[in-house]
């Protein structure tokens, strides 16, 4: 059963589905900016945005909120940058309540709490939408990305090396071969340095994702507490909130 049919009478879900993150007047809209920043394909970006809306729906309807996947969190981060759209349009008119982003305090204990909460979110996802969460969004092993263009210095190297090779062959110039071999050694050295640098960055990112940061924790409503590292709403959400864990209507 499709989600839109399952929740067709839910006002909050209908508002979320009618809401577009892309501005009609923007030459470089939200989805294109997100795809460029994350190096995602157009189809994957559209799917990630759709899952972000489902995550937000769970945040607003589940008693204890919800926890996003890494992919969904990237969409949320980008949306938060559009402050006017997020707070004045999305939260005020679409959700009709505030939805805050609460990073964890970091550390192993927080990481375990986040993992457990994410598992609960996935179970609630299946119960709410009557379908399995797409693994490429919620538990990705490989993210579809655009093919990276050849770096400018690689193009220059290929052009120079080709020219030197042609020159060496036509003029029978042994000195040209020496220059050509030197360029190859320099190129190999540059590639090794770049690869080592990228490996180090990926290692640092992995450490941040799996230890130092420990995940993120979230809540709906304007007044909340996170003393236990989890999500909780106060008994009174304040102006514009449809109820802690409840729908907007």
The predicted pLDDT at position 219 comes to 44
CB 51 within 8 A of CB 71: yes
Indicate the range of 76-80, 129-133, 192-196 predicted with least confidence: 192-196
Confidence of residue 156 (pLDDT cuts 50, 70, 90): low
Greater model confidence, 123 or 220: 123
Q: Could you tell me the CA-to-CA distances from 2 to 48, 128, 202 in Å, in that order?
A: 17, 11, 38
Mean pLDDT on 46-50: 97
The predicted pLDDT at position 99 comes to 95
Burial class of residue 77, CB neighbours in 10 A (0-12, 13-18, 19+): middle
Mean pLDDT on 47-58: 97
The predicted pLDDT at position 31 comes to 96
The answer to whether residue 231 scores a pLDDT higher than 90 is no
The predicted pLDDT at position 195 comes to 72
Mean pLDDT over each residue of the chain, to the nearest integer: 75
Within 82-225, residue ranges assigned H as helices are 83, 108-129, 135-138, 152-171, 174-207
- Between CA 60 and CA 186 the distance in angstroms is 56
The predicted pLDDT at position 36 comes to 95
Greater model confidence, 223 or 105: 105
pLDDT digit string, tens, across residues 13-42: 999 999 999 998 889 999 999 999 999 999
The predicted pLDDT at position 210 comes to 44
Confidence of residue 225 (pLDDT cuts 50, 70, 90): very low
- Between CA 87 and CA 1 the distance in angstroms is 32
């Amino acid at each position: 059963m499709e989600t839109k049919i399952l929740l067709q009478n839910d006002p909050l879900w209908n508002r979320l589905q009618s809401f577009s993150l892309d501005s009609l007047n923007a030459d470089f809209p939200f989805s294109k900016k997100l795809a460029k920043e994350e190096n995602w394909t157009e189809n994957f970006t559209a799917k990630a945005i759709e899952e972000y809306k489902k995550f937000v729906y769970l945040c607003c309807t589940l008693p204890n909120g919800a926890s996003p996947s890494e992919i969904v969190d990237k969409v949320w981060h980008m949306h938060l940058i559009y402050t006017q759209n997020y707070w004045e349009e999305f939260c005020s008119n679409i959700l009709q309540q505030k939805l805050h982003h609460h990073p964890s305090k970091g550390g192993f204990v927080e990481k375990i709490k986040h993992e457990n909460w994410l598992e609960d979110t996935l179970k609630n996802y299946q119960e709410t939408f009557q379908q399995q969460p797409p693994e490429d969004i919620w538990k990705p092993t490989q993210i579809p990305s655009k093919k990276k263009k050849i770096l400018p210095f690689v193009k220059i190297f290929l052009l120079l090396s080709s020219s030197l090779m042609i020159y060496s062959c036509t003029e029978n110039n042994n000195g040209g071969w020496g220059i050509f071999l030197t360029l190859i050694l320099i190129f190999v050295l540059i590639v090794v340095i770049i690869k080592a640098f990228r490996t180090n960055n990926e290692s640092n990112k992995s450490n941040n994702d799996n230890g130092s940061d420990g995940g993120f924790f979230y809540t709906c409503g304007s007044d909340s507490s996170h003393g236990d590292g989890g999500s909780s709403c106060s008994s009174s959400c304040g102006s514009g909130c449809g109820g802690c864990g409840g729908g907007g209507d």
